[in-house]
Structure formats: C-alpha cells, structure tokens
Chain A
C-alpha cells in the first residue's frame, strides 16, 4: 500500500533555480494538498486541488505554482527558488468533504528542500 508518494526526498537548490516536486496517490482521492513545514510552526497550506482539473491558493501560495496532472498526481513548482522557501514540503490527499467530513488527510513522507 503506497498511499501518497513524494519525490524527491531531499533536494538542494541554488537561489534562482527552478524545480518541481512530484506527488502521486493511489487511494482514488479527489482532493490533494501541498503544505510546507517550518521550524516551530505547524503545517501551512500552499495550494490545494479539490478535484481533478481545479486548483486553488492556500495560506502561503506566493512563489509557487501547481498542476493537477490527473486524479493521481499533483505537482508543486518553484519557478525561481529563494532561501525563504527552504522548508519541508508535504503532499496530502483526502476524501471529498461531501463524502464524509471526518476523513483525515493522508500524507506523503515529505521533501526536505534547502535553497542556498
């Protein structure tokens, strides 16, 4: 049972470089999410996709773009990386709110990203 798979697990970038974080889920969930986790803070929502074909901004979207490639895959792109984007990034998926409001989010193992 793979659940939510994120790649890569670790990445070091130089300021100004671009990269895409990949996320795939095999639970047939409609909703997917990208969070960042910084020291001393909880997870903060970057972008989410309530269903295939839709994406929306979360709490901290600046500097990021997302693509919901299909129902399984939701990628996060940093176009021009900045040191402030050094963080641990988590992808998650869940059932729809319309199905059951008590459905938890299922998380990937995270991507540790350092920007020099």
Chain B
C-alpha cells in the first residue's frame, strides 16, 4: 500500500512555456503533499507544503508565482512551472503524508528539461 505516482516521468519543454506535473496518492488519502526539487548528486530541497483545499506554504526563496501548486483533492496535487527557463531544469519529487504521523511516501519523480 501507500503508493504515490507522478506524471509525467520526464518532460522536455521550450523556454517560456509552462509545464504541469501531477502527483497522485493511489491507495490512500493524503491531506498533505510535499514538493521537492533535487539537483544532481544533491539532497532534496523542500519547495512547498500543500494541504488539500488550502493555499500551499512555500519555503523561503521559492517563487510562488513561478511554481504554482494546487491540491484540489485528497489524492491529487499539481505543480505547474510557469514560464520555464533552463535553470528550472531539475528532478522534481512529490511526497504524500497520511493524515497523522510523519511518514511520507514518495513518488518516482519527474525529470524536467527546459531547452
């Protein structure tokens, strides 16, 4: 149990366009989802915390207008990278947490390449 999926697994887009990444909890309801960014050979950097039905909480230094997060249901959160630039190229990982406890279940990640 506790499976989290992400779609797409990899995407290539042109500079200036927007890209949407979906994160779904397949077999449980997640009141909280998290979005991370991971640079090559580095750790995960938390970008934002997303609670169902409310606005996301962004970490310091993360542009909320550039990285739009929507958590419309208990099983779906989306990250939209707006007006993407090559420096936005990265590995984006989402996770979902059950209602209580600290355990987060991670998606397989999305590789974004902006050309």
Answer yes or no: do A and B interact.
no
B contact residues vs A (CB 8 Å cutoff)? none
A contact residues vs B (CB 8 Å cutoff)? none
